[in-house]
Amino acid sequence: MSRNDEVAARLEEFADRLEATGVEYKPTAYRRAAENVREHTAPVEDLAADGEAAVAEIDRVGDAIAAKIVEYVETGEIEELESLREELPVDIGALTAVEGVGPKTVGSLYEALEITTLDELEAAAEAEEIQTVSGFGAKTETNILENIPFAREARKRTRLGDARPVADAALSHLDAVDAVASVEVCGSIRRWKATIGDIDILVASEAREPIVEAFTDWPEADATIEAGTGKASVRANGTRVDLRIVDPDEFGAALQYFTGSRAHNVAVRNRAIDRGLKLNEYGLFDVSEVDEAAAEPDAADADSRRVGERVAGATEDGVYEALDMAPVPPELREDTGEVAAAAAGDLPDLVEMSDLHGDLHTHTDWSDGGFSIAEMIEAAAARGDDLYAITDHAAGPGVVANTGLDEAEIADQAEAVAAAARQIDGAVAFGDVQDAGEPADAADADLVVCHGIEANIDAEGAVTTDDETLAALDVVVASPHSALGQDSAAATERLIRAVEHPHVDVLGHPTGRLINSRPGLDPDVTAVVEAAAAAGTAIEVNANPARLDADGDAVRAAVDAGASIAINTDAHAPRELGYARYGVHTARRGWAEVADVLNARSVADLAAFLRE
C-alpha cells in the first residue's frame, strides 16, 4: 500500500466515523479529499515534508485536511481520528462491509445495542433485537442477517485458482452477447495475482442496458449487488464480479486504467505528464493547448475529463506506444521497474504456456495421488507433453504415514513406470533412451517418461532418502513438508543445504505455504536462490493454485541470481495437469523468460540437465 493509499484510507475512515455520529456535509468533503489523495501522482510524504501548503495543493484538500495529513505522515496518527475511534469503538470497516449497513446504521446500532463487531451484529439479528430499534424493521433485520456471511467471506481475498474459472466463464458468457464488441478481464485477475479482491470485467459496446441485463442474467451469478447504466456487480461463487461498459473507442484507455495496478498507473501517468499529456480511463490527451482552469478535473464529471486533443485510447498498445513505451505485459504492472524497462525497450520476452514441454513433479496412487501410473502418463500424452516425470512422495517427516515410498518401493516403482511407458504409443522411458547416449534420442520420442521422487527436506536440511536410491533416479524433487513454522534463519540454512545436496535437481514448493491458510517458511530468498544457482538446482514454481510457491517475487530473485525455474503442477489427478497455466503466469510475474525455465528449454537440454 502506498502512503497515498494509506492516507486515503484514514480519510475515508474519518468520513465514515463522522457520518456515524450524525455529522453532515463534512464526510463528503473527506471522501472527495481521499479520492484525490489516492489519485495524486506525487507521494504524499514528499508533499508533507514541504509543509501543509504543499499538501493543500492536492485538489479538494483544504487547509484543515492538509494539517491532518501532515500530522499523520509525521506521527502515524491523527489525534482527532483517535478520539472518534474512542467515542465509537466499533469495527466500522467490517460492519459497513455488510450490504445495507452504512455508517449511520452503525452509529444507531451502537447507540441502541452497543454492537461493535460482525459477530455481535449477527447475534443481535438472530435474537431479533435489531427490529426493536427505531427506524429498523423485520425486513431490514433479515437482510442484514442474510448479508453477513458474504461480508465475512468478502473480507478475505479469493485464491486465483478459484477466481480465474469464474472470470473465464463470465468472459465467455459476455462474449456471446450480440451487442458486445470486445470483452476482457482487467484488475488483479488480468495481472494473475495469487489472490484476488474482486474480478473486474470490461466490455466495449455502443449499448449499455442489454449488456447489464445479460450480465445480471448470467446463470452463474448468485445475486446482483448493483446494476447501473454503465456498470453492474454480481456475486458468483462467493466472489464479487464488477462489470464496466465503455464505448469501443475508449476501450484501450479503460483497459489500461482498470488493469492497474494503481502503482503502475501512477508511474505511467507521471510519464504522460512529463510529455504534456494527460492519461485517464477515457484516453490519452494532449492538454498543451488547454488553459489550466478548463483542465481542472472533476472526478465525477466524465466530460470534463475528456479534455484537449485525444492522441490514443482505442487500443491499450496504442496508449503505451504514444508514451514511447513498449506495451507492458499485465503480469509486470506492479511498478517494480517495468515502466523504465518498457521505455528503454528492455522488457523481458516472457515465457508462455506453449513453451512448456512438460512436468517434473506429479503423483500417482503409489502415494497420495488418485490415479494409476498409466492413467497419469496417458493424460500427459493427451496434453501433448514432451517430457513427464512421476515423482511420488518418499516416506519421511511431514508425509502422511503409509503414503510415502521407502527405498525398496521406489526401486519397484522405477520398474513399473518404465513398463507403463513402454506400453504407451509414442512414449519412451527416459532410462531406455539415456543408455543410447545422445540427448537427441530423447528429443525424437513423442513423450519421454521420467521416474523420480519427491523427497523430504527435514528441519535441518537433510534429504531423508538414501543417497544410493536418489542417485539411481531420473529426477529428484526435494520439498519441505515439516517444521514449516521454524524461524527465518533456520529456514534459510535448511533450504541452502537442500539445494546443495548433490542429487537434488529441483527445490519443490520452497516455502510450503498454503494461500489463505498457512504462511509457510520465510527464508532469506536471495541467499537460497544464489545457492541454487551455484549448485545448478532449479527452484520450483508449484502451479497448484493453493500454493503458487515460489511466488512471483521469489522467481524474480531466482532469475536475477541466474537460477533455473521449474514450472510443475504437482498434479495428483489428470485434471490438475491444467494447473500449469497458473505456474506459467506466476513465473511471468517474476519476469521469467524461456531460457530461465528448465522445462521450457528444449527437451534435449532438459534431458542433459537430468543426466548431469
- Choice between 68 and 264, CB closer to ligand DGT: 264
Task: Give the DSSP letter of residue 537.
Answer: P
How many beta carbons lie within 10 A of that of residue 520, not counting itself?
Answer: 18
Binder of ligand DGT out of 198, 385, 458, 576 (CB under 6 A): 198
By CB under 6 A, which span of 261-269, 386-394, 555-563, 576-584 interacts with ligand DGT? 261-269
Q: Choose from ligand DGT, Zn ion, Ca ion, none: what does 568 bind? Cβ within 5-8 Å by kind.
A: none
- Binding mask 331-370 toward Zn ion (x if CB under 5 A, else -) reads ----------------------------------------
Positive or negative, the Cα torsion across 537, 542, 547, 553?
Answer: positive
Q: CB–CB of 407/469 below 8 Å?
A: yes
Give the shortest CB-303-to-ligand DGT separation in angstroms.
19
- 371 touches ligand DGT (CB under 6 A): no
Q: CB–CB of 311/319 below 8 Å?
A: no
Positive or negative, the Cα torsion across 168, 171, 175, 181?
Answer: negative
- 569 touches Zn ion (CB under 5 A): no
- Choice between 4 and 479, CB closer to Zn ion: 479
- 511 touches Zn ion (CB under 5 A): no
Q: ∠ CA(495), CA(538), CA(387), 5° rounding?
A: 135
Task: Give the DSSP letter of residue 412.
Answer: H
Instruction: Kindly tell me the burial class for residue 610, based on how many C-beta atoms sit within 10 Å of its own C-beta (0-12, 13-18, 19 or more).
Output: buried
- Binding mask 202-241 toward ligand DGT (x if CB under 6 A, else -) reads ----------------------------------------
Give the shortest CB-285-to-ligand DGT separation in angstroms.
16
Q: Which of residues 15-54 bind Zn ion (CB under 5 A)?
A: none
Alpha helices (H) in 260-399, listed in sequence order: 262-274, 292-295, 302-305, 316-322, 338-344, 373-383
Q: Cell numbers for 257, please give them.
A: 486504467
Q: Choose from Zn ion, Ca ion, ligand DGT, none: what does 479 bind? Cβ within 5-8 Å by kind.
A: Zn ion
- Choice between 159 and 509, CB closer to ligand DGT: 159
SS (H, E, C) 320-337: HHHCCCCCCCHHHCCCCC
How many beta carbons lie within 10 A of that of residue 49, not counting itself?
Answer: 13
Which phi and psi angles does 528 have, rounded to 5°?
A: -70, -45
- 184 touches Ca ion (CB under 5 A): no
By CB under 5 A, which span of 234-242, 283-291, 382-390, 538-546 interacts with Ca ion? 234-242
Which of 584, 533, 583 lies closest to 559, judged by CA?
A: 533
Binder of Ca ion out of 198, 316, 359, 385 (CB under 5 A): 198
Binder of Ca ion out of 27, 103, 107, 187 (CB under 5 A): 187
Give the shortest CB-362-to-Zn ion separation in angstroms.
11
Q: Is the peptide bond before 261 cis (omega within 30 degrees of 0)?
A: yes
Q: How far apart are CA 22 and CA 222, in angstroms?
A: 35
Helices 79-87 and 3-20 pack at an angle, to 10 degrees, of 40
Give the residue carrying C-alpha cell 512529463.
274
By CB under 6 A, which span of 190-198, 208-216, 228-236, 449-457 interacts with ligand DGT? 190-198
- Choice between 42 and 514, CB closer to Zn ion: 514
Binder of Zn ion out of 479, 486, 537, 568 (CB under 5 A): 479
Q: Which of residues 419-448 bind ligand DGT (CB under 6 A)?
A: none
Q: Choose from ligand DGT, Ca ion, Zn ion, none: what does 310 bind? Cβ within 5-8 Å by kind.
A: none
- Choice between 257 and 366, CB closer to ligand DGT: 257
- 38 touches ligand DGT (CB under 6 A): yes
Give the shortest CB-121-to-Ca ion separation in angstroms.
25
- Choice between 427 and 498, CB closer to Zn ion: 498
Q: Choose from Ca ion, Zn ion, ligand DGT, none: what does 260 bind? Cβ within 5-8 Å by kind.
A: ligand DGT
- 200 touches Ca ion (CB under 5 A): yes
Element (H, E) at 354: none
Q: CB–CB of 536/521 below 8 Å?
A: no
With CB under 6 A as the rule, give the number of residues binding ligand DGT.
15
The CA–CA distances, whole Å, from 162 to 157, 320, 349, 582 equal 10, 31, 28, 11
Binder of ligand DGT out of 3, 152, 231, 262 (CB under 6 A): 262
Binder of Ca ion out of 141, 242, 385, 454 (CB under 5 A): 242
Q: Cell numbers for 234, please give them.
A: 454480481
Q: Which residues contact 94 (CB under 8 A, 6 or more apart)?
A: 117, 118, 151, 155
- Choice between 27 and 187, CB closer to Ca ion: 187
Going by their DSSP bridges, the two strands 199-204 and 182-186 should be labelled as antiparallel
- 188 touches ligand DGT (CB under 6 A): yes
Binder of ligand DGT out of 27, 197, 396, 431 (CB under 6 A): 197
Going by their DSSP bridges, the two strands 538-542 and 565-568 should be labelled as parallel
Q: CB–CB of 48/73 below 8 Å?
A: yes
Q: CB–CB of 575/165 below 8 Å?
A: no
Sites of contact with Zn ion (CB under 5 A): 479
Interacting residue ranges for Ca ion, rule: CB under 5 A: 187-188, 197-198, 200, 242
Footprint of ligand DGT (CB under 6 A): 38-39, 187-188, 193, 196-198, 200, 257-258, 260-262, 265
